[in-house]
């Protein structure tokens, strides 16, 4: 029993820490001397647990052995790319660790015991101990240096490198990836603790590789003393690879059974702390419903835990029994018999044999843990790798012909579908330099999609889009996109200053003037000037307590100001006034049209009154143009446009009869 306890106590220490953390061995009973590095194990476990929580779900997509190996090699290469020092240092630590282990149990103890056995002089023993102490002392010095200097610094380098690579990739992939939940999941999983897992792989990878020759040496040393004693190794093998493995599987099953409950827990806690639900929560009894959801989920989780509790308990028991009890007690029993009864081995051999057996057991446990971790991380690396190796279909940095200004843009029989359903069908139109074009139509008609195609966020499924008579795919993508300044319907405001939000990283000579003019045109200058730091006020309170909080309409105006500020020949506004009041909307369109004197303009609106002054109006329905012409022509045609216009005007003017609308 005492041994068993020792075993269990030791195992967490050794598991991850191996030799390097064994400290300076002080005696044959390593149980007490080893494993000072509990903290390390803890942190590894924490990482492991975190990855287990999230990562276990992923291990549903099982990998073959070859894939696992290849993924781990990929991770090693990635680590080597950013910090060769860490990879080398980890290798040295691992070798030192196993050296200590093998040397201590295989040579040191043996030598001391033999010296004692043969009545060697105290001085000769002392000399040997002195050398050994110096060696262990130096190794320990190196380990502490590596742990406290090399790893922390190199980890930061690794983080920086990997994140830069991930961000660069994320920026370069086409928009479609963001709308594909699988891809998005892979990205979030890839980015979730990437560095931590790669560091873990580096250590585990070397750990496993170095453990093989080390195990070989210890095995040989034992075999040398007693051919049969090595059979005891079968016991920890069974303990680890059979019971340990089943335990892992059952824990995974329990985890899976708790996934739905945990999801509910996450959802409820999110609703409790995010502001989204705070207002409703205070005005209704929805809190009681949430609490009920939460309690039900807890009950479900408890049931799942109970269901697997017995299996886990007995598997743990058998794992420990086979891994520690049988081998420790067994070897002692066997060796004692041979020493005391059959008198076939000496007392010193008995001591060495037990010592070697202890080392062997720990090495097997460690190697097993290394394998398990490498397999687990292999799945994670798979996500990272899929993401990093993804071949962009429309890479942001795609080179090509440099466009020479803007003369015309033409959609020629363009069809496009996001998934199965066709969103844009057989669409043809042409915009010439200086045109003021409006795309109108009901929600979902495909207006925004046209803009996304025009900006090459997506490529058409068939048909082509031409700039100045040449397919837009042939142009340098960045240069092509520079021709357009766009206010998106779902724009983003960044946690940066107002000025930066307007200029968006571009630099001009007369920046301040440009920003002021753009803000004035967008109708937001007054508001910005009332802020404590004017255009330098930071948006949102994320980083700055004094950050500005705008209303929806004010945000929209800021987004519009961006388009005014960007010096591009074509300006695109996608529903720029949807959050504005009628007067602000009127002013905005007046200003937008002013811009139209010098630029080509495309704007989208479902409020037809605002497109009255456009040269060309394209009325869209189900992804294709159903009517085209000037406002006047379309009204006179009495078609769909005219009907929609009259409907809106009736609402707006609060009149009952169509005749009352003045066209």
Ligand X SMILES: Nc1ncnc2c1ncn2[C@@H]1O[C@H](COP(=O)(O)OP(=O)(O)O)[C@@H](O)[C@H]1O
Binding residues (CB under 6 A) for ligand X: these are 179, 418-419, 423, 441, 443-449
Q: With CB cut-offs between 5 and 8 Å by kind, which of Mg ion, ligand X, none does residue 279 bind? A: none
User: In the complex with Mg ion, which residue's Cβ is closer, 580 or 635?
Assistant: 580
Residue 249 phi, psi (nearest 5) = -65, -45
487 binds Mg ion (CB under 5 A): no
Torsion of CA 27, 32, 33, 39, to 10 degrees: 170
Q: Closest separation between CB of residue 489 and ligand X, Å?
A: 7
Q: With CB cut-offs between 5 and 8 Å by kind, which of Mg ion, ligand X, none does residue 418 bind? A: ligand X
Q: Closest separation between CB of residue 392 and ligand X, Å?
A: 17
User: In the complex with Mg ion, which residue's Cβ is closer, 215 or 611?
Assistant: 611
Cross-strand pairs, 145: none
Q: Closest separation between CB of residue 417 and ligand X, Å?
A: 8
Q: Closest separation between CB of residue 488 and ligand X, Å?
A: 11
577 binds Mg ion (CB under 5 A): no
Chain centroid to CA 271: 23
- Closest of 254, 246, 187 to residue 53, by C-alpha: 254
Q: Closest separation between CB of residue 485 and ligand X, Å?
A: 19
Q: With CB cut-offs between 5 and 8 Å by kind, which of ligand X, Mg ion, none does residue 392 bind? A: none
Q: Closest separation between CB of residue 265 and ligand X, Å?
A: 30
258 binds Mg ion (CB under 5 A): no
Q: Closest separation between CB of residue 277 and Mg ion, Å?
A: 27
Q: Count of residues binding Mg ion (CB under 5 A)? A: 3
How many Cα neighbours within 13 Å face the side chain of 372? 24
Q: With CB cut-offs between 5 and 8 Å by kind, which of Mg ion, ligand X, none does residue 449 bind? A: ligand X
What would the two tokens of residue 577 be?
């006034």
Collect all residues with Cβ–Cβ distance below 8 Å to 240 and sequence separation of at least 6: 319, 322, 323, 364, 365, 368
Collect all residues with Cβ–Cβ distance below 8 Å to 585 and sequence separation of at least 6: 577, 607, 610
User: In the complex with ligand X, which residue's Cβ is closer, 419 or 597?
Assistant: 419
User: In the complex with ligand X, which residue's Cβ is closer, 422 or 587?
Assistant: 422
From 240, 348, 383, 448, residue interacting with Mg ion (rule: CB under 5 A)? 448
The pairs formed by 587-590 with CB atoms below 8 angstroms and a separation of 24 or more are 587/523, 588/522, 588/523, 588/557, 588/560
Q: With CB cut-offs between 5 and 8 Å by kind, which of ligand X, Mg ion, none does residue 443 bind? A: ligand X
User: In the complex with Mg ion, which residue's Cβ is closer, 251 or 422?
Assistant: 422
Measured between alpha carbons, how far is 640 from 307 in angstroms, rounded to an integer?
A: 64
Question: In which order are the strands placed within the sheet that holds 462-467?
Answer: 422-432, 408-417, 462-467, 470-471
486 binds Mg ion (CB under 5 A): no
Q: Closest separation between CB of residue 572 and Mg ion, Å?
A: 12
Q: With CB cut-offs between 5 and 8 Å by kind, which of ligand X, Mg ion, none does residue 423 bind? A: ligand X
Q: With CB cut-offs between 5 and 8 Å by kind, which of ligand X, Mg ion, none does residue 348 bind? A: none
Angstrom distances, CA of residue 386 to CA of 72, 177, 193, 375 = 13, 12, 16, 17
Q: Closest separation between CB of residue 54 and Mg ion, Å?
A: 35
User: In the complex with ligand X, which residue's Cβ is closer, 40 or 447?
Assistant: 447
User: In the complex with Mg ion, which residue's Cβ is closer, 446 or 523?
Assistant: 446
Measured between alpha carbons, how far is 378 from 65 in angstroms, rounded to an integer?
A: 9
User: In the complex with ligand X, which residue's Cβ is closer, 179 or 529?
Assistant: 179
Measured between alpha carbons, how far is 362 from 328 in angstroms, rounded to an integer?
A: 12
Footprint on residues 418-447 left by Mg ion (CB under 5 A):
447
Chain centroid to CA 632: 53
Q: Concatenate the DSSP letters of all residues of 441-466 into one string.
A: ESTTSSHHHHHHHHTTSS--SEEEEE
Position of minimal CB gap to Mg ion:
448
Q: Please give the residue ranges that form the binding site for Mg ion (CB under 5 A).
A: 447-448, 489
């Amino acid at each position: 029993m005492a041994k068993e306890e020792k075993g269990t106590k030791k195992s967490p220490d050794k598991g991850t820490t191996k030799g390097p953390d064994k400290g300076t061995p002080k005696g044959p009973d390593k149980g007490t001397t080893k494993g000072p590095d509990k903290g390390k194990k803890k942190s590894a476990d924490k990482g492991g647990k975190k990855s287990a929580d999230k990562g276990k779900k992923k291990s549903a997509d099982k990998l073959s052995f070859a894939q696992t190996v290849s993924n781990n090699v990929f991770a090693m290469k990635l680590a080597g790319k950013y910090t060769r020092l860490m990879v080398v240092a980890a290798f040295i630590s691992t070798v030192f660790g196993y050296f200590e282990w093998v040397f201590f149990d295989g040579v040191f103890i043996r030598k001391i015991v033999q010296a004692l056995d043969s009545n060697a002089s105290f001085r000769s023993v002392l000399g040997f101990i002195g050398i050994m102490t110096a060696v262990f002392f130096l190794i320990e010095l190196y380990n502490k240096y590596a742990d406290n200097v090399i790893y922390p610094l190199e980890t930061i380098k690794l983080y920086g490198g990997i994140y830069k690579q991930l961000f660069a990739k994320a920026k370069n992939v086409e928009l479609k990836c963001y709308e594909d939940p699988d891809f998005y999941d892979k990205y979030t999983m890839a980015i979730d603790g990437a560095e931590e897992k790669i560091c873990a792989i580096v250590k585990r990878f070397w750990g496993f590789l170095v453990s093989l020759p080390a195990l070989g040496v210890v095995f040989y040393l034992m075999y040398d003393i007693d051919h049969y004693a090595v059979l005891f190794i079968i016991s920890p093998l069974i303990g680890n690879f059979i019971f340990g493995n089943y335990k892992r599987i059952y824990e995974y099953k329990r985890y899976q059974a708790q996934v739905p409950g945990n999801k509910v827990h996450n959802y409820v806690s999110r609703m409790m702390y995010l502001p989204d639900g705070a207002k409703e929560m205070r005005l209704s009894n929805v809190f009681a419903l949430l609490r009920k959801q939460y309690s039900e989920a807890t009950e479900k989780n408890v049931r799942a835990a109970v269901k697997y509790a017995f299996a886990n308990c007995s598997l743990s028991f058998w794992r420990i029994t086979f891994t520690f009890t049988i081998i420790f007690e067994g070897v002692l029993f066997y060796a004692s018999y041979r020493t005391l009864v059959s008198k076939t081995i000496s007392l010193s051999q008995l001591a060495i044999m037990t010592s070697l057996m202890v080392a062997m057991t720990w090495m097997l446990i460690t190697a097993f843990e290394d394998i398990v971790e490498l397999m687990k991380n292999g799945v994670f690396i798979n996500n990272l790798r899929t993401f990093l190796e993804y071949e962009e279909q429309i890479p942001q940095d795609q080179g090509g012909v440099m466009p020479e200004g803007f003369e015309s843009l033409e959609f020629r029989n363009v069809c496009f579908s996001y998934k199965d359903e066709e969103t844009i069908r057989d669409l043809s139109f042409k915009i010439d330099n200086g045109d003021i074009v409006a795309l109108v139509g009901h929600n979902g008609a495909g207006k925004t999609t046209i803009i996304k195609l025009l900006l090459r966020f997506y490529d058409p499924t068939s048909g082509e889009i031409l700039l100045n008579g040449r397919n837009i795919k042939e142009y340098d993508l960045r240069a092509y996109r520079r021709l357009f300044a766009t206010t998106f319907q779902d724009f983003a405001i960044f946690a940066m200053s107002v000025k930066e939000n307007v200029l968006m990283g571009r630099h001009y000579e007369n920046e301040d003037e440009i920003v002021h003019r753009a803000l004035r045109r967008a109708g937001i200058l007054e508001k910005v000037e009332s802020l404590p730091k004017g255009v330098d006020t930071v948006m949102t309170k994320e980083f700055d307590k004094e950050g500005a909080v705008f209303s929806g309409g004010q945000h929209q105006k800021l987004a519009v100001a961006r388009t005014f500020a960007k010096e591009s020949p074509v300006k695109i506004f996608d529903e720029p006034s949807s959050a504005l009041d009628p007067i602000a909307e009127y002013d905005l369109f007046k200003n937008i049209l002013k811009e139209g004197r010098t630029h080509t303009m495309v704007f989208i609106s479902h409020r037809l009154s605002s497109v009255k002054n456009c040269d060309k109006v394209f009325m869209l329905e189900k992804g294709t143009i159903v009517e085209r012409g000037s406002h006047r022509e379309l009204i006179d045609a009495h078609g769909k446009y005219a009907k929609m216009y009259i409907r809106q005007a009736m609402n707006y003017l609060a009149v009952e009869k169509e005749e009352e609308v003045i066209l």
